[in-house]
Amino acid sequence: MNSKIYGYIRVSTKEQNLDRQREALEEYAKTKGFKYNVIFEDKTTGKNFDRPQYNTLLSIVKSGDTVVIKELDRLGRNFMETPKELQHLFEKKINVNILDTPLMNTGDVKLDYTINNMLIGFLSYIADKERDKIELRVREGLQVAKDKGIKLGRPERKLPQNFKKYYDRWKSNDITAIEFSKLLSVSRATLYRYINKYETERN
């Protein structure tokens, strides 16, 4: 069975134009003397890989086939997930030809394997660094907020209006907990959280 060649192009929004990528892929095909079986086009974010046309591509591409992409970030912009996606494709023996990274496809199987693994390693390193930077920014942001006396976490839940009046009636057994919760229009679990908060603050 002959291997197939697919193109994949993507922009992030419906307003953006796919022509530049399409022309680059068509020019490459013309230079190399082949025609694409299909060029898949997505107009959606590159932050994850749940995209309609990309999913269709994955459902039909097989070992020995080639996927041509103009730039690596057209495959994905997620530093964390893109290396994993490349690794997944390479493990299925799918050739990924990224036009702005020609070293990935030298034609020498052993050399391509080495270069691809180096690229994945490099991207994984960038992903780790990016993850570390994000975690550091979060920790620094939390510390700054703490130093400024800003309370973190969920906003403190205030007691409903008339809570004390109904609480007193409940305490004196004038109403049941079920009636109490219905009067406040809350669940029993929420009611008991309110009661615990009220009694803790009062003591």
Average pLDDT over residues 22-29: 95
> Residue written as tokens 């086009």?
41
- Domain locations in the chain? 5-127, 163-202
pLDDT of residue 111 exceeding 60, the answer is yes
138: nearest Cα among 123, 152, 155, 125: 152
Q: Other C-beta atoms within 10 Å of 109: how many?
A: 8
| pLDDT grade for 110, boundaries at 50, 70 and 90 | low
**Strands 95-98, 38-43: parallel, antiparallel or unpaired by DSSP?**
unpaired
Average model confidence (pLDDT) across the chain: 82
Q: Which helix (H) or strand (E) holds 5?
A: strand 5-11
pLDDT of residue 200 exceeding 90, the answer is no
pLDDT of residue 6: 97
Active site residue 12: yes
Average pLDDT over residues 20-38: 94
Average pLDDT over residues 136-140: 78
Task: Name the active-site residue from 3, 12, 181, 185.
Answer: 12
Annotation: CATH topology of 163-202? Arc Repressor Mutant, subunit A (1.10.10)
Of all residues in the chain, what percent carry a pLDDT higher than 70? 81
pLDDT of residue 101 exceeding 90, the answer is no
| pLDDT grade for 133, boundaries at 50, 70 and 90 | confident
pLDDT of residue 78: 72
DSSP summary character for residue 32: H
| pLDDT grade for 126, boundaries at 50, 70 and 90 | low
pLDDT of residue 109: 59
143: Cβ–Cβ under 8 A, 6 or more apart, which residues? none
| One fold for 5-127 and 163-202 | no
Annotation: CATH topology of 5-127? Rossmann fold (3.40.50)
Mind listing the pLDDT tens digit for each residue in 155-169? 566 788 888 889 999
> Residue written as tokens 């510390």?
143
For the chain, how many helices (H) and strands (E)? 8, 4
Q: Give CA 142 to chain center in angstroms.
A: 23
